[in-house]
Amino acid sequence: MRPICLGALMVLAATACTSPTITVDFAAGYGSYRHDTSGDGGASTGSTDGVYLRLRTEGVGEEAFGGGFSLEAAASDDDLFDDLGVGDTSGSIGDLFIHATAVPLRGERFWLPIRVGPYYRATRIGLDDSPGDEEITWRGLGARVEVEPEFWFLRSDRVSLAIVGDASFGYHGTSIDVDSDSLGISDDFDGDGKSVGASLGMLALFGKHFSMRLGYAYRATHESESDDNNGISVRSMDASFSGVVLQLGVRF
């Protein structure tokens, strides 16, 4: 007996169950990277050009359940704080998200995957041309939920077109590693933070297997002020990338 698809029960537009799907895609983007530190009068706040990379793979079975992972990175140029007269300074964000996937809405025109799972995120800011160590790294481990709806307004065997977007939110506990020779600090601090993501763009599927996506993406981290450690704490900060992203992939 052909299995009953969950999406077919929930969406009248679905005409039949969809066969298992495996996707692999790679994305690269260019835009703006920004770092904001709270409470220091703008002494550690700036923005510059940034780049973004992502590798993702996911499998979803006939029962509309599956899983996968994504590996993301964003980095700034080394002139992040040039407007402040500071030496070469750069920032970066690295992220690994391992998730289970459910697709409660899985029709011919509309596809809504929901992803839930743990993630690890490392955010760094550092003075690159310092003779000593001048770096802060926030390492967070937490849980995230992500949705990525696709609306297919054109379907054919040769080319299909969709409007696609994503939104995600995560919460994590943070270990903060501070290495500053100039301040005489080399210590760890505890805190917590949040991750936020969003994108919107167009997706094209060629021959039902090769995909190309072009759109705008936003990825951000907020880290709260750390707990006090021997009378010292690390100020809260926000780091983000926003820009145009091109994605290429395959679907089976």
Q: What percent of the chain has pLDDT over 70?
A: 89
Question: What is the value of pTM for the model shown?
Answer: 0.87
Cα–Cα distances in Å, from 20 out to 3, 23, 62, 88, 116?
12, 10, 5, 49, 19
**Predicted pLDDT of residue 3:** 41
**Predicted pLDDT of residue 7:** 38
Cα–Cα distances in Å, from 168 out to 115, 122, 197?
9, 17, 5
Taking residues 25-33, what's their average pLDDT?
98
Query: What digits encode the pLDDT tens for the residues 107-163?
Result: 889 999 999 999 999 999 998 776 667 899 999 999 999 999 999 999 998 999 999
CA dihedral 60→65→67→72, nearest 10 degrees, is 80
Taking residues 66-92, what's their average pLDDT?
89
- pLDDT greater than 50 at residue 17: no
**Predicted pLDDT of residue 164:** 97
**Predicted pLDDT of residue 19:** 54
**Predicted pLDDT of residue 54:** 98
- pLDDT greater than 90 at residue 225: yes
Domain extents in the chain: 6-251
- pLDDT greater than 70 at residue 20: no
**Predicted pLDDT of residue 198:** 98
Which one is predicted more confidently, 9 or 228?
A: 228
**Predicted pLDDT of residue 6:** 37
The mean of the pLDDT values for the chain is 88
Which one is predicted more confidently, 146 or 208?
A: 146
Q: Which CATH architecture has domain 6-251?
A: Beta Barrel (2.40)
